[in-house]
A and B are shown apart, each in its own frame.
Chain A
Amino acid sequence: MKTIFANSVPGRPGVGPGKPTKDLTGLIPMELARAEPPGLPEVGELDVVRHLSRLSRLNFGVDSHFYPLGSCTMKYNPKFMEQVAALPGFCRLHPLIPQLRGAGHFAQGALEVIYETERLLGEITGMAGFTLHPMAGSHGELTGAMIIAAYHKDKGRTRTKVIVPDSAHGTNPASAAIAGFDVISLESKDGIIDPQALENALDEDVAAVMMTCPNTLGLFERNLPRIVELVRSVDALLYYDGANLNAIMGKMRVGDAGFDVVHLNLHKTFGTPHGGGGPGSGPVGVCTRLVDFLPVSRVVKLEDGQFFLDYDYPKSIGYVAPFYGNFGVYLKAYAYILRLGRNGLIRVSENAVLAANYLRKRLEDALDIPCNRICMHEFVASAVRQAAQGVRALDIAKALLDQGHHAPTVYFPLIIKEALMIEPTETENLTTLDQFVDDLIEILERGASNPASIQAAPLNTPVSRLDETKAARNLELTDL
């Protein structure tokens, strides 16, 4: 489709405010002023509405398509949450108001949302303290890693390494490295962490072990009690990547199980929309001995029931966000938790796991499933058999797009060849799940007899396969 810039007509008015009474020269010295007006499109409101409406139709979203993108938990996003986030009392509130001495009473409702959300997440996970400041999951990982660094520093020792199993969430190595740690990769055995391998890797230089549980193969780490013991033995900390918390709500609390730091992805477990790549929200919870290191500010409830912002934590890692994180996102998650309540959250996990196992079972003959046993909320299939006949995981993904399904995550986790990582979520009905299986099996059958027909996919999408090499080589990152 033509870009909006190609629709621009010089002088065509937009929807700016009324004219200023002065021109620039009376206000700003010319040497500090812009020389030429910015090359923005000159289009009318209808042009913009039509352009973006047309663009929207080129997208798959949960609202329009089944989206079994493993590890990303693309569940349905309840619409009442949008209404909550649009309340003017929240979305028009300036974040600095409660920081003005004597003005805290103007933002009591917002502070209460923060306080309550932290308490609810604490109860769900069994952690002693929470911060809502991290603005996405991997930002939470970085925050957690910085808390871990501060803890060891406070103990007067240098710990340089973080161990990341090869079945952990993909962002972990980068997050630990950005926080200043050396990353040690740990090989899994039979799809889960091998306690012996972990024991061999652990020493007095290890600051933490970052785990994803269930891991990215969708498997529960059943040696967790032993892992906790081993990590404790060198006084390292155990980190829980909450990407997959949606599998275990009410079945295990990570704090009770022995984890010291946890981050959550609210757009995954708690149903906030992902926005085509954000905004997310990545709250971090910690055990009692790490509470002092949480970012500032923190919301405290006084005896009279008033809430206030407390900055007086000398051991805090400081500011990870300008204010209190993506308020408009966790506000929705707060509403989601209130809506579902205790039993609703337990049913979320149960039905997410039920749906994943159902798909796993129905697909186990058609595809290889390297660790084929009861899985949690997702499982990883492999297209090695098909790849030998010329139909790769990527081809299968593209053919699914033609059938009106978003593709699973492909080629991740890296430890499974030709991986197809499938996560149906609890919100898809059985009709949709069965249709997906039927379409996938049909694709595999067609691929076996006519690989070229799958390799050519997708054909029903707005564009067919795109030349990524050309995109990287002839960089065209702006419209000319």
Chain B
Amino acid sequence: MPYIPHTPAEQERMLQTIGVPDINALFAEIPQELRPKRFDLPDGQDEHQVLHRLEHLAAKNNIHLVSFLGAGFYDHAIPSAVDYLTSRGEFATAYTPYQPEASQGSLQAIFEYQTAISRLLEMDFANASVYDGGTALYEAMMMAVRQTKRRKVVVDECVNPIYRRMLDCYTSNLHLDMVVVPHARGTSNMAALQAAVDGRTAALIVQNPNFFGVLEDFASLFDHGRAQGALNIISTYPLMQAILKTPGAMGADIATAEGQSLGLPLCFGGPYLGVMTCTKALIRQMPGRIVGRTTDNQGRDGFVLTLQAREQHIRRQKATSNICSNQALCAMRAIAFLCLMGPQGLADAALRCAEMAHAAARRMVKLPGVSLLNQRPFANEFAVTLPKPAYQVIHRLTQRGFLPGFPLGRYYPGLENVLLIACTEKHRREEIGILVEMLGGAL
């Protein structure tokens, strides 16, 4: 049997040591009435047979479309060294670093990740990760509910609609007062948000760039939130953060992100990386693992999991979160990626994405019947209104090998004709030209 190393003689020796006649005797405590009625699984296969099966399934997925689909999840270039380094068995086959003396590699890498993420978002502290951008936003909201002891949460409709659905799911049993403030043609309705945030509000939740790709400055809205005693929470796009005004500069209390853009493949939705950062004042409300630097009994620097009194294995039902395993190896990918890119490489990548998107938008609005959803600044993603339903255009273009974007009508009734188009540094100028040409032909 693969991966089970015992010879029959060794098994016999083990049974003798235990003092039972056979392996079945070890399971004698399971009552007969509980024995399986069936266990109808296929026979085992050789490695090459399994690989063949999986290669066959992988080939049924089309990854050769020239794609402008983003909507929060982006096809950025990943330096090969990221895969190479994070596939090292010493990282990949370790457990959560409960024994710090045997885990300094993981712990220091996570400490460096926390440092890089905090600096990227200009926030005080980061944790070691949660599952994804959506659970990060949910955890941030619960930090605010605990900290303020209030139950009202104001959410901008420009926040990723998938994340808003996740918030709904997690809060369905918690008796929170969730208020969603409608968007205004793909932009945040600042006046309405300000009116909604009052002295009962625990958290204000916004996103930048928003789901429509629009860049916002929430600094004055956050001033208002702070004055009302609410916590300001912002969901961000970390790669693009290399060139955009930071959550810290806007005055956010908690900044979260989907970290997928930092060296993680799209991989059909996961594993991704939930990025969480906060101000110093809130660190004891932070969920999940946090690594801190300390010294050993010989005075040498070393790293440990710290502030564990917040966590489920110590605090049981009073913990800040139930999270145990997080996305450690994904955080490892992010720190490798950020180090490989450096500040300049990251800014260059962000700018290249933005210049591709701006080139596409400039040419697209010249097509008859096509206009931008709004005239607001954007970085690498923008929404255009078409003269016909977006899904029809998508359907037409995919037959010709192009996936032009995301149909906003899927989440925003009334925007059926609006297409959300994302560019990355991997796109070529020729592809932009063909996209615009094909789009013109499909209208």
Contact = CB atoms under 8 A, between A and B. Distances in A.
Interface in B17-46: 17-20, 23, 25-31, 33-45
Interface in B86-103: 87-103
B304 interface: yes
A267 interface: yes
Interface string B326-369: 11111010011011111111111101101100100000000000
Interface string A425-453: 01111100000000000000000000000
Chain A: interface size category = 35 or more
Given A14-B345, A96-B73, A279-B270, A87 B330 contact: no
Nearest to B323: A138
Contacts of A174: 312, 315-317, 319, 321-322
B302 interface: yes
Contact of A15 (B17, B79, B308): B79
Contacts of A334: 54
B47 interface: yes
21 contacts: A26-B358, A27-B351, A28-B379, A51-B339, A57-B105, A59-B90, A61-B93, A62-B93, A78-B3, A80-B50, A95-B73, A183-B316, A327-B268, A339-B47, A354-B15, A361-B18, A374-B26, A406-B95, A430-B6, A462-B101, A478-B126
B10 interface: yes
Given A3-B115, A277-B95, A33 B244 contact: yes
B434 interface: no
A3 B293 CA distance: 11
Contact of A102 (B10, B39, B118, B394): B394
B92 to A, nearest CB: 5
Contacts of A105: 62
A472 B306 contact: yes
Contacts of B306: 468, 471-472, 475, 477
Contact of B120 (A22, A40, A280, A361): A40
Contact of A341 (B43, B291, B295, B336): B43
Q: Which has the most chain B C-beta neighbours within 10 Å: A34, A318, A474?
A: A34
A12 B345 CA distance: 11
Contacts of B106: 59, 276-277
A112 to B, nearest CB: 6
B241 interface: yes
Contact of B268 (A90, A177, A280, A397): A90
Contact of A90 (B267, B342, B348): B267
Contacts of B256: none
A297 B224 CA distance: 38
Nearest to B43: A341
A322 B166 contact: yes
Nearest to A74: B95
Interface residues of B, number: 201
Contacts of B347: 16, 37
A45 B79 contact: yes
Given A279-B325, A335-B54, 15 more contacts: A4-B112, A12-B342, A61-B91, A65-B102, A93-B268, A171-B313, A171-B324, A251-B27, A276-B332, A321-B166, A322-B163, A341-B45, A466-B304, A477-B118, A478-B126
B108 interface: yes
B104 A58 contact: yes
B77 interface: yes
A108 B351 CA distance: 35
B25 to A, nearest CB: 8
Contacts of A318: 165-166, 168-169, 172
B395 A102 contact: yes
Nearest to A476: B293
B391 A102 contact: yes
A5 to B, nearest CB: 6
A13 B339 CA distance: 10
Given A48-B81, A346-B39, A33 B328 contact: no
Contacts of A458: 101-102
B251 interface: no
Interface in A97-140: 97, 99-103, 105-110, 112-113, 120, 123-124, 126, 135-139
A53 to B, nearest CB: 7
Contacts of A337: 41
Interface stretch (A142-150, A196-204, A231-239, A381-389): A142-150
Interface string B256-293: 00100000011111111000000000010000011111
A412 interface: yes
A38 interface: yes
Contact of B395 (A5, A101, A109, A250): A101
B323 to A, nearest CB: 6
A142 B322 contact: yes
A390 interface: no
B286 to A, nearest CB: 10
A452 B98 CA distance: 23
A317 interface: yes
